Amino acid sequence: MTIETIAVMQDEVRALARERDAVILAHNYQVPEVQDIADYVGDSLGLSREAAATDASAIVFCGVHFMAETAKILSPDKTVLIPDLDAGCSLAASITADQLREWKAEHPGAVVVSYVNTTAEVKSESDYCCTSGNAKAVVDAIPEDQEILFLPDLYLGIWLEKVTGRKLNVWMGECHVHAGIRPADIERWQAEAPDAELLVHPECGCASQCMAFGNDNTHILGTESMIRFAKESPKQRFLIATETGILHRLRKDVPGKTFEAVSEDAICKYMKMITLEKLRDSLRDWKFEVTVEPEIAAKARLAIERMVAIG
């Protein structure tokens, strides 16, 4: 699409959203032209908070399916739309509710902490949800002698064990995008750009090695924390180890500094299924509506509300 056709379609999207009383929420990994039209851009926690607080009668969720489900759970009376129903998540798909029930049966009495990248049904079997932004605070809020099952991300779990000093039972799931950022990518950059600050998402395959071998310039941060860190840092150059969609937000919110991807291949095909055109069609044709069974939603809401409440 040319800059002109993008601008015309963005005007169309704005007009439709006004007409339909819809708020557009977009994840940090969305394509730039979708981020630029959204009412709010953020990480899963920020988007959940916006979904819970909005006065609009509908939410168009530009992200992946579990995120739209979370919005529906928090705003059951609102219509929640996702522009492409196939926008899934390999990490959320790594554990089913049946697998979680079996795991819980092996650890009776354990508290279940689920990363927000899970289906509504898995959330309904969990005590707490968390994002990478508040995972440490959630684990810290649980009594020290309490056994914890953490799922589904292996690398986030290893990072949490390190920063909380707690022993966790960690599910062996992974996100194919973050797991694909390897220690060799980090080592190459550390050699080529020793002056740069390295910001690594805790889901990355390299995150646990970074904790062991990283230097003072290495920081393990969720996406919103990356933006805060870059704003506050006196440094000029930053290397980013997460999905490359965040670069657009960083460059926009922190002008005058340099941001480079550690791996240009770190692209989530699911996030990128949402296009400006599909967003326009979603608003125009009122599709695709996301629903969650009321019983599952009621149970999942408790875990999500704990996540939203813990900063």
Rounded CA-CA distance 236/257 in Å is 5
Residues with Cβ within 8 Å of 144's Cβ and at least 6 positions away in sequence, in order, are: 166
Q: By CB under 6 A, which span of 14-22, 173-181, 185-193, 205-213 interacts with ligand SF4?
A: 173-181
**Length of the chain counted residue by residue:** 311
Interstrand relation of 58-62 and 79-81 (parallel, antiparallel or unpaired)? parallel
Distance from first CA to last CA of the chain, Å, rounded? Answer: 39
Q: What is the 8-class DSSP label of residue 273? A: G
Q: Which is nearer to ligand SF4, 224 or 243 (CB)?
A: 243
Q: What minimum distance in Å lies between the beta carbon of 96 and ligand SF4?
A: 16
Rounded CA-CA distance 251/260 in Å is 10
By CB under 6 A, name the one of 91, 204, 261, 303 that touches ligand SF4.
91
By CB under 6 A, name the one of 41, 89, 135, 198 that touches ligand SF4.
89
By CB under 6 A, name the one of 59, 175, 262, 283 that touches ligand SF4.
175
By CB under 6 A, name the one of 117, 244, 275, 282 that touches ligand SF4.
117
Contact between 270 and ligand SF4 by CB under 6 A: the answer reads yes
Q: What minimum distance in Å lies between the beta carbon of 86 and ligand SF4?
A: 12
Contact between 221 and ligand SF4 by CB under 6 A: the answer reads no
Contact between 129 and ligand SF4 by CB under 6 A: the answer reads no
State whether residue 235 is helix, strand or coil.
coil
Contact between 50 and ligand SF4 by CB under 6 A: the answer reads no
Contact between 34 and ligand SF4 by CB under 6 A: the answer reads no
State whether residue 17 is helix, strand or coil.
helix
Contact between 122 and ligand SF4 by CB under 6 A: the answer reads no
Q: Which is nearer to ligand SF4, 74 or 177 (CB)?
A: 177
Residues 195-214 that bind ligand SF4 (CB under 6 A): none
State whether residue 177 is helix, strand or coil.
helix
Strand order in 258-261's β-sheet? Answer: 218-220, 197-200, 237-241, 258-261
Contact between 31 and ligand SF4 by CB under 6 A: the answer reads no
Q: Which is it for the CA torsion 220, 29, 253, 263, positive or negative? A: positive
Contact between 25 and ligand SF4 by CB under 6 A: the answer reads no
Rounded CA-CA distance 137/132 in Å is 10
C-alpha radius of gyration, the chain, whole number:
19
Q: By CB under 6 A, which span of 47-55, 68-76, 207-215, 265-273 interacts with ligand SF4?
A: 265-273
- Residue among 26, 81, 24 at smallest CA distance from 249: 26
* Token couple for 202: 């805790």
Q: Which is nearer to ligand SF4, 274 or 283 (CB)?
A: 274
Q: What minimum distance in Å lies between the beta carbon of 176 and ligand SF4?
A: 6
Identify residue 249 by its one-letter amino acid code.
Answer: R
Contact between 45 and ligand SF4 by CB under 6 A: the answer reads no
Contact between 115 and ligand SF4 by CB under 6 A: the answer reads no
Contact between 160 and ligand SF4 by CB under 6 A: the answer reads no
Interface residues toward ligand SF4, by CB under 6 A: 64, 89-91, 117, 175, 177-178, 243, 268, 270-271
